[in-house]
Amino acid sequence: MLNLVFSDTLGTNITHLICKLNVSIKTGTMIILKKMRWILLLFLSASIGIAATSANTEYFEISKNLEIFATLYKELNSYYVDDIDPNEFMQEGIDAMLKSLDPYTNYYSEAEIENYRFETTGKYGGIGSLIKKDDDFIVISEPYENYPADKAGLIAGDKIVSVDGNSVKGKSSSEVSKFLKGEPGTTISVDILRPLADGSDQSLTLEITREEVKVKNVPFYGLVQDGIGYIKLGNFTQQASKEVKDAFKALKKDNPELKGLVLDVRGNPGGLLHESVNITNIFIDKSELVVFTKGKVEEWDKEFKTINEPIDTEIPLVVLTNRSSASASEIVSGAIQDLDRGVVIGQKTFGKGLVQTTRKLTYNTQLKVTTAKYYIPSGRCIQAINYAERDQDGAVKRLPDSLKVAFQTKSGRTVYDGGGIDPDILTEVEYLSDITVSLGRKDLFFDFATLYRAKHETLHDGKDFRISATEFDEFVAWLQDKEYDYTTESESLLNEFKEVAEEEEYFEGISTEFEALQIKISHDKKNDLQKQSDEIKRLLENEIVTRYYYREGAIENGFIYDTEVAKAVDILNDPNEYKKILSNQ
C-alpha cells in the first residue's frame, strides 16, 4: 500500500476535485465523472513524481557534494606545495562544517574519546590535579584532595619541569595533560620547582602512581545557618543524583531540625539528562513529568518522568542560579519552578535547551549531534537561540522579549519561554572592578597565595579566615614591581570621545581641555587598590584557603560574602514569604 504525502496546496486541489466528483455522481453525468477520475489520477501521479523527484534531488545533491569534497581533497593532497597532515587537515574541515550548526554538535577523534568520557562520567586515569600555563611552565593550580597528586605531595604553585625525563618546558596545558593521564596503577616521575618564601625555587622529584580520578559532582554540603542546609552541585556527570541524595540524607540525619535546603547550581554547565530527572525526583513525587523532548525524528520525542519514591516533598527548597547555569541545571531549576516545589533565586539562566545524542562513527570516532529540544513541565522550551536563523554575517540572536509566550506553573503562576529560567527573585549580577579583573588575569592572587603558603605551613580556620590589614598591606607592597594594567570605563569612554572628536574635526580646538580631563580621571593603582580592598581581600582569602582546605574550604569560606545565599536563608526563615511566592499571591 502506498503512503502518499501531499503539500497543503496540492491537498486543497485534490479535495476540490473530489467535491466536484461527488457533484458529478449526484447529477449522473458519467462523462464528467470519467474525466475527473483521469484528472485525479494525473494529480496523484504528479504528487508521487514530485515526492520522488524531491528525494532524488536531495540524494543527488548529497552524492554530488561528497564527490566534490573527495576530488578536492585528492587534488590538494597531490599538488599543494607543502605536505598535508591528513588527520589535522580533515579535523579542520569537519570542525568548520559543524561550526555552521550549533556549538554543541561536535566531532571526537579517536584521540579525544578520553576527554569525552570525562565529560559524561567525570572519571579519567591520571594524577588528579588541575594545571595551567604560566609563561614557559605548566603549574599545578589545584590538586584534588586525597588523589595521587595530593598524596604524593604536589601543591598549588609547583612548576612542572619534566615528566618521566621528558622536558615539558614551553608545552601547552593539553600537551602536558596527555603526559600526566594514563592507565590507573602506572607510575610516573615528575620533576618540579617549588617556590619558597625567600623567592627561590626548590627542585624536587616525585613518584606518582596514577589512579582512576572521579571529580565530585557535589564538592561541598553542610549548614549555612542553623537549620538551613546547603548543597553545591557542580556538574551532572554519572552518579550526580546519588551524590545529591547522599548529601541530603546526611544533612537530615545530622540535623533532625533541618527546616530548609539551598541547592546551588550556579556556574553548573549541565550534563546528563537522566541525572537531572533523578535529582528533581529527590524533591517531587513519583510519576511526575520533569522534562520532554521534541526533535525532527519521531524517536527523539520522549517524556521523562520521575521513577523513584522521593526523599522529601515538603522541606522548603531554594535553587540558586546564574547566567552560567545551563542545560541540566535549567531542567532542575525549571521543573522545580514549574511544579511550584521551590523558589528560584539568582539571575536568568543561560538558555541551553538542546539535546545531544552520541553516534558512533568509524575508526573509534564519535559524533555528538543535537537531535531535539528540551521542554519543561509547563510546556515551555528553555532554548534561547535559534541557530538555524542567522544574520548575513552569520551571527545568531537571542529571542527578543516581545516574542516570549506565557505559560502556567502547577499553581497558576505565570512563567515565560524564550530561553532560560527567570528566577522568582532576581538578584543583581556582581561585576568586579577593573583593577581586580586585571590582578586576576595576571594570576597575582594565585602567585601571592603560593607565597603565603610557603610562609605559613598551616591555616587554623578556613571557614572564618580573613586577611588582616597588615597582610593586605604586604600584598600591596608585593605588587609594586608586578606588571598589571587596566583601562577604567571612564578612560574607555574618554578615548571613544577623542576618536569621534577627531573624525568630526573638533578635537584640535579642545585638545588642551581633553588632556587636563585625561589627567584628572587617569587611574591611580594605589588609590584603586584601597578603594576596591574589600573585593580584593575576598578573592585573596578564597585563593589562600584553597591551598589548605581545597575546593570544599573555598566554598564554605565564601558564604559570608554571598548575598544570594543570604537571600535564600532569609526566604527559608520566613515561611509566610516562601508560601506567598509559590502561591502567586
Q: Other CB atoms closer than 10 Å to residue 311's CB: what's the count?
A: 14
Query: Distance between CA atoms of 126 and 382, rounded to whole angstroms?
Result: 36
3-state DSSP: the chain helix, strand, coil percent, rounded to 5?
Answer: 45, 20, 35
Q: Is the dihedral of CA 201, 204, 210, 214 positive or negative?
A: negative
Q: For residue 556, give the C-alpha cell.
A: 564554605
Give the separation between CA 85 and CA 249, rounded to whole angstroms. 54
450-466 confidence digits (pLDDT tens): 999 999 999 988 999 99
* pTM (2 d.p.): 0.82
Q: Return the pLDDT at 40.
A: 45
User: Which one-letter DSSP state was computed for residue 320?
Assistant: E
In a 3-state reduction of DSSP, which class is residue 198?
coil
Beta bridge partners of 132: 139
Per-residue pLDDT at 340: 97
C-beta of residue 275 within 8 angstroms of C-beta of residue 241: yes
- 216-240 average pLDDT score: 96
Cβ count within 10 A of residue 451: 18
- Per-residue pLDDT of 529-541, as tens digits, reads 999 999 999 999 9
Distance between CA atoms of 277 and 256, rounded to whole angstroms?
Answer: 27
Cα–Cα distance for residue pair 215/151, rounded to 1 Å: 16
Most confident of 37-41, 47-51, 104-108, 246-250: 246-250
Average pLDDT (544-562) is 95
DSSP conformation class of 267: T
Q: How far apart are CA 40 and CA 445, in angstroms?
A: 79
Give yes or no for a contact between 543 and 449, defined as CB atoms under 8 angstroms apart: yes
Where are the extended beta strands (E) located within 354-485? 354-360, 366-375, 406-408, 414-416, 425-426
Place of cell 622536558: 167
Grid cell at residue 199:
623567592
What are the Cα distances from residue 4, in Å, to 41, 45, 50, 273? Answer: 13, 10, 11, 37
CA end-to-end span of the chain, whole Å?
58
Q: Write the Ramachandran bin of 394: left for phi over 0, alpha for psi from -120 to 50, otherwise beta.
A: left
Using alpha carbons, select from 115, 166, 144 the residue that is nearest to residue 210.
Answer: 144
Active site residues: 327, 338, 352
Among 488, 325, 304, 495, CA closest to 419: 325
Cα separation of 278 and 333, whole Å? 13
> Is the pLDDT score of 345 beyond 90?
yes
> Residue 254 has what pLDDT?
96
SS3 annotation, 367-398: EEEEEEEEECCCCCECCCECCCCCCCCCCCCE
pLDDT, tens digit, for every residue of 263-309?
Answer: 999 999 999 999 999 999 999 999 999 999 998 888 889 999 999 99
Q: Give the tens place of pLDDT for each residue, 101-126.
A: 888 898 888 777 777 777 777 778 99
Residue-wise pLDDT for 371-418, tens only, equals 899 999 999 998 888 777 766 666 777 767 777 899 999 999 999 987
Q: Are 238 and 214 in contact (CB under 8 A)?
A: no
